Structure 1
Amino acid sequence: MNIKRLCLAVLLAGAASAAHAGDKPALEGCVELGTQQEIVRNGGSQSFLLRDGDNHYRVALRRSCDSLAVASSVSILGEGTEGRLCPSGSQIKTNRGKCEVGAVELLDADEFASLKRRSRR
């Protein structure tokens, strides 16, 4: 196998892996969040998990949000309304700054629980 074919194989494998990682259904429109929320910060500043009653989400941010990891309070604003989550245009407001939401994936309860356990390791 020559080097060009090897590089192509590696690139295709990476693309297939990335495509598989993004196969979770995306949130289609805005949702009104209730008062029973749980935010799980998974150690990074690129995303977090959100449980709202029986609904579960992975919220990816447009850019790194360093204030999320150390914030003592977090609120979600969609279309200028607190307590609304939209797949784009929402903001995460902390007591240390604001960050923009890039995408929201829907999770089931088992996925949420598994990701939550992993984040605590």
Structure 2
Amino acid sequence: MKLLSALTLAAALTVIAAPAFAADPLSECVDLGATHVVRRAGDSAVAIQDGAQYYRAEMRYGCNDLGYSAKLKISTDKQEGRLCPQGSKLATQRDLCSISRVEKIDEQAFKRYIKR
């Protein structure tokens, strides 16, 4: 009975928390402004702020230099500052990493990701 109650509580908390983590996939390319910010968001992702727009980009095979690089740049087809659903890259000081997924997030999610 206790296990069933614990499972019910866990399921209820998951449903309540789900909207906070919901994100929409990026559907078309975005040209980031000159003042956009790219920050590390874990071992294989970055969070991007471009004015009032926020994105999270995951690396296809991770990114070895992500944890050590202070300079992060997004580009697509060698066009710096262009973020697309497919084909974008993240350049670190010593690596060029393929981005496999880009999603739109909100400001609260951006803040959570960069704290990790």
Give me the TM-score of the superposition, normalised by structure 1: 0.72
Alignment of 1:33-112 (within 5 A): 33-44=32-43, 46-112=44-110
* AA matched with 1:101: I
In 1, distance between residues paired with 2:92 and 2:110? 22
* Offset of residue 23 of structure 1: 5.1
Match of 2:9? none
Contact 1:40 1:116 (8 Å CA) reproduced:
yes
Separation in structure 2 between the aligned mates of residue 48 and residue 38 of structure 1, nearest angstrom: 10
Task: For 2:99 and 2:72, locate their aligned partners in 1 and report how far apart those are by CA, in whole Å.
Answer: 13
8 Å CA contact 2:76, 2:84 repeated in 1? yes
Q: What CA deviation, in whole Å up to 9, does each residue of 1:25-71 have, x standing for no partner?
A: 10001100012222221341x11111111110110110110111111
| Deviation of the 1:94 alpha carbon | 1.4
**Runs of 4+ residues deviating >3 angstroms:** none
Please report the TM-score for the alignment, with normalisation by the length of structure 2: 0.74
Higher relative contact order (CA closer than 8 Å, sequence separation 6+): 2
Gaps of 5+ in 2: 1-17
**How many equivalent residue pairs?**
99
Could you tell me which runs of 5 or more consecutive residues in structure 1 were left unpaired when the two chains were aligned: 1-19
Q: Is the 8 A contact 1:61 1:103 kept in 2?
A: yes
Quote the RMSD (CA, aligned, Å): 2.1
Cα distance in 2 between the residues matched to 1:89 and 1:54: 24
CA contact 1:60–1:102 (8 Å) conserved in 2: yes
